[in-house]
Amino acid sequence: MKLEGKTALVTGAGSGIGEGIALLFAQEGAQVVALGRTGSKLDEAKARAGEAGARIHNVVADIADGEAVKAGVAAAVEHLGRIDILVNNAGTNVPDRSLDKLTPEDFALMTDVNLNGGYNMIHAVLPAMRERKDGVIINVSSIAGVRVSQLAGAGYCASKHGMSALSIAVGHEEGRNGIRSIMICPGEVNTPILEKRKVIPNAERRASMLQPEDLAQAALLAATLHPRAVINEMIITPTNAEFA
């Protein structure tokens, strides 16, 4: 097992990419805290994990709430003893994405979850990682964090560009402390966030997208490199999608 003896905290772990990463990490031997806002979703994901579910420990917290994050990380440390790997995955979008319809409330929601939430998690785990001179922080951004698209919308793109910049900044400042910061920027992924599009993709279209298990494999690669090596930025897209 590639992660035997390791511990991981995965946000947004009740479905989609987060569920896929938590599952694979547990299958590879890690003790995993699956963190999310909805306990029932976390419980359902743990049940779907089968035998690997014994290594998954659920914690309910809203990453946009700084105090809730402190409590959630404390609970994770109680379960795990320490956090070797943080996976910042939780994210959201809204149906009305064009600037003529995007409300200040929806813009603030995306910023709070996609950017501030990631910062809250990083801020909470960094002190212990610095003390140990070791740690892996995997930030699931988006291809919308590399280039702007109308499909993703202005608010989502702005928040994901912020997350991308934050990930790189963490690497710049904390690499000297043995902490590796990895940014994964996927193209279209078949996850529940697709339900928030104005036009929801059909089953055939979804099947041609990246799947959560593809992102889990990417995260596993990032987490298992030798400590002397780091993937600063990984862009992963469906094979049939143009990239330029």
Written as one string, the DSSP assignment of 205-239 is HHHHSB-HHHHHHHHHHHHHS-TT---SEEEE--T
156 as an active site residue: the answer is yes
180-198 burial string, b = 16+ CB within 10 Å, else e? bbbbbbbbbbbbebbeeee
φ/ψ bin of 135: left (φ > 0), alpha (ψ from -120 to 50), beta (otherwise): left
Residue 113 reports pLDDT greater than 90: yes
**Region for residue 12 given its phi and psi (left: phi exceeds 0; alpha: psi -120 to 50; beta: otherwise):** left
pLDDT in the model for residue 200: 86
Average pLDDT, the chain: 96
Over range 138-163, report the average pLDDT. Answer: 96
Q: Tell me if residue 182 falls in helix, strand or coil.
A: strand
Tell me which of 156, 179, 190, 209 is the catalytic residue. Answer: 156
What number is the average pLDDT over the span 19-23?
98
Average pLDDT over residues 64-84: 97
Q: In the predicted model, what is the mean pLDDT of residues 25-33? A: 98
Residue 111, CA distances (Å) to 103, 133, 192 in order: 12, 30, 19
Q: In degrees rounded to 5, what are phi and psi of residue 133?
A: 60, 40
Q: What angle do CA 13, 17, 23 make, to 5 degrees?
A: 60
Encode pLDDT of 92-107 as tens digits: 999 999 999 999 999 9
Mean pLDDT (whole number) for 184-206: 87
- For residue 134, pLDDT beyond 90: yes
Average confidence (pLDDT) over 230-244: 90
**Is there a contact between 162 and 111 (Cβ–Cβ < 8 Å)?**
yes
Q: Which residues of 147-164 are buried (b: 16+ CB within 10 A; e: fewer)?
A: eeeeebbbbbbbbbbbbb
Distance CA 105, CA 71 (A): 26
Residue 139 has pLDDT above 90, yes or no: yes
pLDDT at 175 over 80: yes
In the predicted model, is pLDDT for residue 196 greater than 90? no
The tokens 């990930």 sit on which residue? 167
**Domains of the chain (ranges, CATH numbers):** 7-236 (3.40.50.720)
Band (pLDDT 50/70/90 cuts) for residue 32 is very high
Query: Is pLDDT above 70 for 244?
Result: no
Q: Any long-range contacts for 36-39 (C-beta under 8 Å, 24+ apart)?
A: 36/11, 36/12, 36/60, 36/61, 36/90, 37/61, 37/62, 38/14
**Which helix (H) or strand (E) covers residue 139, if one does?**
strand 135-140
| The pLDDT of residue 230 is above 90 | yes
Q: How far apart are CA 194 and CA 237, in angstroms?
A: 16
Q: Provide the percentage of residues in the chain whose pLDDT is more than 70.
A: 100
Pairing of strands 179-186, 135-140: parallel
Q: Say what the pLDDT of residue 195 is.
A: 81
